[in-house]
């Protein structure tokens, strides 16, 4: 089996750490580059426990071009998965310059260092947020870009920079993957999402209510034009997202080119359906109440995953019950996170 080294920026983070596990399982050697601004060094030990492999780590910042170049000097890198960045929508509205700096300038640095080092394969973490609030579900790759906040704008800009770069250099092979709602944890319960402070997203909030760390879930809105009046999203297991990265990597290594692909299950799940699935997984009832709609929320949003299947031979394998069971295992084994 191949032992090619893959640079994983942000590899200590939530999705990056799961991608490192998937890379090891597929026979690659991840080299993590992270400044731990939103993660813990303990993640490295946990990934090593799961994979039974030593994981290379370079501590550094994507805003520092020389530190990225140093990774290419130390390691013979075959491809890059670029996860490093900031992801809180609300924070991006409060502090747009930091988001443009870290997400856009950081990505330019990674792309520039890649070009200087002769590496020609990169996969970028984009988001369904780039599509904004569309009504036409499922959301396909041809949907219009319409990000509604600075975070979404940073993802759109990087996608456009990547497309321009590919057009300027025939030998580059790039993919941008737009994730819908990554949730859940590795089945061992050793790695998972570890939000700082009170979670802003439904799944980690729900898990902390189930564990008794938070008292009650507020369901934002009861009168959306959906099957039960609550918001609908496309929740996808984080290991399915990780597997999609390996599939994209193998596609780029063998076929090359430029890919822009939506990564979701294609299935919309309502807030109430998710609560009920979590109750089944945790074997306990979860206190919740209806509250007002959250500003800026859309009613319904799910992916058309057909291009991912057609191009990459990938589709999500894990359903909502597996997602909740794995999330619950991570929550009870790590009640306060890492």
Residues that bind ligand NAD (CB under 6 A): 10, 12-16, 34-39, 61-63, 83-85, 87, 102, 106, 125, 127, 179, 182
DSSP 8-state code for residue 38: T
What angle (nearest 5°) sits at the alpha carbon of residue 25, between those of residues 43 and 193?
Answer: 30
Share in percent of the chain as helix, strand, coil (round to 5): 40, 20, 40
Distance of CA 193 to the CA centre of its chain: 10
Question: Smaller CB distance to ligand NAD: residue 104 or 252?
Answer: 104
Question: Smaller CB distance to ligand UDP: residue 89 or 239?
Answer: 89
The count of other CB atoms within 10 Å of the CB of residue 37 is 12
- Reference 183, options 262, 133, 239; nearest CA is 239
Question: Smaller CB distance to ligand NAD: residue 85 or 189?
Answer: 85
The span from the CA of 335 to the CA of 194, in Å, is 10
* Binding to ligand UDP in span 166-195, by CB under 6 A: 181
Give the contact letters, 268-297, x = binds to ligand UDP (CB under 6 A), - = no. Answer: ---x----------------------x--x
Q: Which of the listed partners (ligand UDP, ligand NAD, none) does 124 bind, with a CB threshold of 5 to 8 Å by partner kind?
A: none
157 touches ligand UDP (CB under 6 A): no
Whether residue 179 lies in the annotated active site? no
* Token reading at 218: 């507020």
- Are β-strands 269-270 and 232-233 bridged in parallel, bridged antiparallel, or unpaired? antiparallel
On the CB side of 147, how many CA atoms lie within 13 Å of its CA? 20
Q: How far apart are the first and last CA of the chain?
A: 32
The residue number whose beta carbon is nearest to ligand UDP equals 231
Yes or no: say if 257 and 171 are a contact pair by the CB < 8 Å rule.
no
Question: Smaller CB distance to ligand UDP: residue 7 or 241?
Answer: 241
* Binding to ligand UDP in span 192-221, by CB under 6 A: 201-202, 205, 217-220
Give the contact letters, 223-242, x = binds to ligand UDP (CB under 6 A), - = no. Answer: --------x-x---------
- Are β-strands 173-179 and 56-59 bridged in parallel, bridged antiparallel, or unpaired? unpaired
We find the least distance from the C-beta atom of residue 33 to ligand NAD, in angstroms, to be 6
The residue number whose beta carbon is nearest to ligand NAD equals 13
Given 14, 151, 301, 302, which residue is catalytic?
151
We find the least distance from the C-beta atom of residue 200 to ligand UDP, in angstroms, to be 6
Give catalytic residue positions. Answer: 151
Interacting residue ranges for ligand UDP, rule: CB under 6 A: 181, 201-202, 205, 217-220, 231, 233, 271, 294, 297
């Amino acid at each position: 089996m191949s032992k090619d080294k893959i640079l994983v920026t942000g590899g200590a983070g939530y999705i990056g750490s799961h991608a490192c596990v998937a890379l090891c399982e597929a026979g690659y050697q991840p080299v993590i580059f992270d400044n731990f601004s939103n993660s813990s060094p303990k993640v490295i030990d946990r990934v090593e426990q799961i994979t039974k492999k030593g994981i290379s780590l370079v501590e550094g910042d994507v805003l520092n071009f020389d530190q990225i170049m140093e990774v290419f000097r130390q390691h013979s890198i075959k491809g890059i998965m670029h996860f490093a960045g900031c992801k809180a929508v609300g924070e991006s509205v409060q502090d747009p310059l930091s988001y443009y700096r870290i997400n856009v300038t950081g990505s330019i640095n990674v792309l520039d260092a890649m070009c200087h080092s002769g590496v020609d394969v990169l996969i970028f973490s984009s988001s369904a947020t780039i599509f904004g609030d569309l009504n036409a579900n499922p959301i396909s790759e041809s949907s219009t870009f319409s990000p509604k906040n600075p975070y979404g704008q940073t993802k759109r800009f990087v996608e456009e920079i990547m497309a321009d770069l590919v057009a300027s250099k025939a030998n580059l092979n790039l993919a941008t993957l737009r994730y819908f709602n990554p949730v859940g944890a590795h089945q061992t319960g050793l790695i998972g999402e570890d939000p700082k402070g009170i979670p802003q997203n439904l799944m980690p909030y729900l898990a902390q209510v189930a564990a008794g760390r938070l008292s009650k879930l507020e369901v934002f809105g009861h009168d959306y034009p959906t099957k039960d009046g609550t918001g609908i999203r496309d929740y996808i297991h984080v290991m399915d997202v990780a597997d999609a990265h390996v599939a994209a990597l193998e596609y780029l290594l063998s076929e090359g080119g430029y890919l822009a692909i939506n990564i979701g299950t294609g299935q919309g799940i309502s807030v109430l359906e998710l609560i009920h699935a979590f109750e089944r997984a945790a074997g306990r009832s979860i206190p919740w109440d209806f509250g007002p709609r959250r500003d800026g929320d859309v009613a319904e949003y799910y992916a058309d995953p057909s291009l991912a299947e057609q191009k990459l031979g990938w589709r999500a394998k894990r359903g909502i019950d597996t997602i909740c069971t794995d999330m619950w295992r991570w929550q009870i084994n790590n009640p306060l996170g890492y």
